[in-house]
Amino acid sequence: MQARAIIAALRARGRLSPEAAGWFARGLASGEVTDAQAGAFAMAVLMGGLDTPGRVALTGAMRDSGKVLDWDLPGPVVDKHSTGGIGDSVSLLLAPALACCGVYVPMISGRGLGHTGGTLDKLEAIPGYRTAIDADALRRVVEETGCAIVAAGGDLAPADRRLYAIRDESATVESLDLITASILSKKLAAGLEALVLDVKVGSGAFLPDMDQARALALALVETANGAGCRTSALITDMSQSLGHSAGNALEVLEVMETLTGSAVNEALWDVTAALGGELLALAGRAKDMDEGAAMIDAALQSGRAAERFGKMVAALGGPADFVERYPDRLPSAPQLAPVPAPRAGFVTQVNARALGEAVVALGGGRLKATDRVNPSVGLTGLAVIGEEMEEGEPLALIHASSREAADAAIAAVLAAYELGEDPLSEPPLIHDRIGPEDVA
């Protein structure tokens, strides 16, 4: 089999067979496929598209290009994936809550991308927390604590790592088929029995348009189920920040307040319960989503999820007393500055992407891969759609490393908010659900 023949067939709108997908993925991992051939392959997929069997074949081949974890545990192995957003720290609540419900969660997560925050960056705001561990350590932590939120090891889906970089260079990032295979190959390499997908839609999402978000959700659910993993997706709102905070340590602080009950963020809680309920039903631990959501509620309300989170943090190198002393353990920024509302009115629109970009500009994200992240900076107290503001009342509070950075962030946040005379209702948190039965 030759790369040129596979590329030529795709260019002619031919099918991608499991044999061809397997050969190409192995060639990506081994280096037998050149960068030029990888770029041509990505462009052929972008221009011609793949049918469902082809997308399943590519996903499975990229999953199998490296190590695929297997487990011998007394409960199902599950995970969740989010397409990314602003103030989205659901993973930090969901993993320990699920672990309290009899399932095991080897959560393979990523870093911030563009204007969106990254789960690994948030956890690395905790002193000592290690996100880079090998498969044996991952297995040990999951067995001991029920959950571990870590980075993908170098031996998981190496074909995807190579193709991901090529897609960026070859202007093929937006291919629905390649996005689907990239997301799922890493997740399925973790040996999952069930997966729930959180596909964001709105101004702060990777895909702001509902039709695009639904198309991606359908492709992901259809492909994952075709690859043998029971999967469903919720399309959730990202027309504003999900949390009241945006920024790595600040989001961890908000998570801990919610876990310990000192200041519960209801939006974070509700999305966590919905995703967890869906996943417990998929894994056979609950009869339906509602029963599963009630199980997640109970884990959060009882404090068991907070205790489990603390065990995970300690097992991955963080402070053993993190749950008890998290305010002292997290870094804080030296400059605080409120963003005064320019006039009285109701919040009618939020440019969530602009808020994310403001956090990046403060140093809370990366403009390029080599940038260092400042975990202490960001935004808190973010006003929400429908909230009534008095003139001068803070729309948000800036946490910055310098006065100059704070002033620039104030201007950016002011530009991200629109105020009107009439009140609006907050948008629904969950817009749609796509389950296995919708793609059968």
Rounded CA separation 260/324 (Å): 9
Burial group, residue 390, by CB count within 10 angstroms (0-12, 13-18, 19+) = exposed
* 186 labelled catalytic: yes
Asked if 77 and 191 count as a contact pair (C-beta separation under 8 A), the reply is yes
245 has catalytic annotation: no
Coil/strand/helix, residue 13? coil
Question: Does the annotation count 187 as an active-site position?
Answer: yes
206 vs 105: CA distance, rounded Å = 25
Kindly name the residue from 119, 170, 180, 232 that is annotated as catalytic: 119
Residue 80 catalytic?
yes
| Active-site pick, 55, 63, 81, 431 | 81
Catalytic residue among 63, 64, 79, 185: 79
Q: Which among 63, 122, 162, 187 is annotated as catalytic?
A: 187
Catalytic site residue 82? yes
Q: What is the spatial distance between Cα 35 and Cα 38, in angstroms, rounded to a whole number?
A: 5
Is position 79 annotated as part of the catalytic site? yes
Rounded distance between C-alpha atoms, residue 90 and residue 79, angstroms? 12
CA distance linking residue 149 with residue 126, whole number of Å:
13
Two tokens at 243? 């949390």
Active-site residue flag, 231: no
Element (H, E) at 7: helix 3-11
What gap in Å lies between CA 341 and CA 394, rounded to an integer? 6
Catalytic residue among 167, 311, 329, 353: 167
The label of the residue with tokens 């609006």 reads 424
* Residue of 80, 200, 244, 308 with catalytic role: 80
Annotated active-site residue in 111, 139, 161, 186: 186
Active-site option among 59, 65, 82, 236? 82
Q: Which residues are catalytic?
A: 79-82, 119, 167, 182, 186-187
